[in-house]
A and B are shown apart, each in its own frame.
Chain A
């Protein structure tokens, strides 16, 4: 079945760039997402990319999609302590609204 994998932890220094990586198995994915979960809160959509795109940039966020390798990455430039959270990679296939999530990457930002 479909699967999404990502590393569980990432630690960076404030001001550095963070890169969170994700791989997925569903070649029919139409949309790929990055959700952010802050402590004690639900998930919120951070950004998404349509499967026919290679890159999407939104202020400090850059999403790269390598469809051939089924690899998605999220780069956060100038990482701040407020970026400390869990980041979930997710994908949606062509059938319906089902979204498959990775296990989440906990980002620690050291001051």
Chain B
């Protein structure tokens, strides 16, 4: 079964404490991306990766890092989280001409 798996699903942390949200896909897709979802703003792209070791900024990259050492994994790193990074985060992957995105179930992050 095609899957995009994110962990953790829920996390409450404090300002400045580094955290990583993992994302793994089993579809052998080259393209992966991270979005954040905020009420009234929809989904905004944070970072994306076209392939292993190829990453680029999306629309809202400030305060985030990513890495793509293996094709299946694309972790999102918050080196020093701040309250404005409280949000619902989605990892997604796609391949093929229609560009259909396959999403993980989301990671709800609260930064106190």
- Which residues does A use to contact B, with CB under 8 Å? 4, 8, 30-31, 33, 35, 40-45, 48, 88, 92, 96-99, 101-104
Contact = CB atoms under 8 A, between A and B. Distances in A.
A48 B98 contact: yes
B101 A43 contact: yes
29 contacts: A30-B99, A31-B98, A33-B99, A35-B101, A41-B106, A42-B4, A42-B103, A43-B90, A43-B92, A45-B100, A45-B101, A48-B100, A88-B43, A92-B99, A97-B33, A97-B48, A97-B94, A97-B99, A98-B45, A98-B58, A99-B45, A101-B35, A101-B43, A101-B44, A102-B42, A103-B40, A103-B41, A103-B42, A104-B42
Contacts of B4: 42
Main secondary structure of the interface of B (DSSP, over half): strand
B34 interface: no
B106 A42 contact: yes
Range class of the B interface residue count: 20 to 34
Contacts of B35: 101
Contacts of A102: 42
A4 B59 CA distance: 14
A86 to B, nearest CB: 9
A89 B30 CA distance: 24
Contact of B99 (A31, A41, A42, A101): A31
Contacts of B100: 33, 45, 48
Contacts of A99: 45, 94, 99, 101
